[in-house]
Chain A
Amino acid sequence: MMNYLIILAGAMMIIAAVFAVEAKKILDAVIAMSVVSLVSVFLFIAMRAPDVAITEASVGAGLVTAVFLVSLFKMKGGDEQ
């Protein structure tokens, strides 16, 4: 059961990563990258590395996504002016 879950998580990570590269809009790419981090958190939990999982959840899925989104909106605001 656990093995199938890990394979499912890995497949989702690969799909999200490919989508992040191929996406037309940068916003979609940022969200897909956040999904990669989020699923890797589950994988870290499965691999009994809760320390890394907590760091990945707060930094990878939280702060980095927030910083990317804010800088993306800042860039868009600069383009309009």
Chain B
Amino acid sequence: MRRFYAILIAAALVYMLISFISTVPSYGKADLKERVSDAFLSKSVNAQNTKAWMEGKAIHRQPAKEIYGKKVKEEGSANVVTSIVVNYRSFDTLGEVTVLFTAALGVGLILGGSRRKQYGREANFVLKTSTGILVPLIIMFGAYIFVHGHLTPGGGFPGGTIIAMASLLLYLSDEKFFLSKASTGALEGSMGGTYVIIGLLGLAIGGYFLYNFLPNGVVGNLVSAGIVPLVYVAIGLKVGAELSGLVTDLHSEKEG
């Protein structure tokens, strides 16, 4: 009876996975017009026949980059959520990063140690072999999520978490694997510093902390949206190193 229920639940989950995922547009086929307005895509909110431009009839003039005398901050990012999170609420994101840092610090203080904890059991063959295949793919996927944060759904936090999952997989499959505190700490600290330095550069150039001072580029290009990719690379590496350090703390024990 238990087995019957297990098969039923697994079948329901797989059915849901397939049917929900099939509603997502396939790669490169997403209709941007569904997510953002025509004026956003043609990068002019002021004076242009945007509908004609979308259909390829009107010539794209250099848009006036201002709304009420202000630079249009969200115009360079194809993913509007990212644009709001990094352009308007970047200070909020800095606060979230700080909260995560404090949480990881607490875990490190309570559980941290300088030695890998030995469980005295070998991981089985399937886990070991599949880890070798999966870990590079998982790290690449995590990096993709934060590098393309301004184009596709995702961003620094999920990308960093996915990278930390790769290190968790390594910890589970290998009894000797141990990330040194120095490496994760150095990456985390330098990337957190980079984020603040980008913010201070914005303060120096634009007059606001975390001001988007770089040119916006073309919507949909990899190098676009000003500082958004830079900030997301910094956040992604910081969160990845931080959570890898947290996983390390969970799998370590104190000397003696």
> A-side interface residues toward B, CB under 8 Å?
2, 5, 8-9, 12, 38-39, 42, 45-46, 50-51, 53-55, 57-59, 62-63, 66-67, 70-71, 74
Which of B52-60, B67-75, B155-163 is found at the contact surface with chain A? B155-163
Q: Report chain A residues within 8 Å CB of B17.
A: 42
Give the residues in chain B near A57, CB-CB below 8 Å.
158
Complex: chain B residue closest to A9, CB-CB: B16
Contact residue among B20, B154, B246 (Cβ-Cβ distance under 8 Å from A45)? B20
Chain A residues with CB below 8 A from B155, complex form: 51
A66-B168 contact, Cβ under 8 Å, with A8-B12, A55-B157 = yes
B179 to chain A, nearest CB (A): 15
Q: Which residues of A contact B168 (CB under 8 A)?
A: 63, 66
CB of A47, distance to nearest CB on chain B (Å): 10
Chain B contact residues (Cβ within 8 angstroms of A): what range?
20 to 34
List of B residues within 8 angstroms of A55 by Cβ: 157-158, 161
A27 and B82 alpha carbons, distance in the complex (Å)? 36
A51/B153 in contact, CB under 8 A? yes
A-contact bits for B227-253, CB 8 A (1 contact / 0 none) = 000000000000000010011001100
Interface string of B132-166 (1 = CB under 8 A from A): 00000000000001000000011101100110110
B81 at the interface (CB under 8 A from A): yes
Asked whether A58 and B250 contact (CB < 8 A) given A8-B16, A63-B243, A66-B168, the answer is no
The CB with the most chain B CB atoms within 10 A, among A8, A38, A55, A57, is that of: A55
Name 14 interchain pairs, CB-CB below 8 A, sorted by A. A12-B12, A12-B16, A42-B16, A45-B21, A45-B24, A50-B24, A51-B82, A53-B153, A54-B153, A54-B154, A58-B161, A59-B158, A59-B161, A66-B247
Q: Is the CB of A46 within 8 A of B20?
A: yes
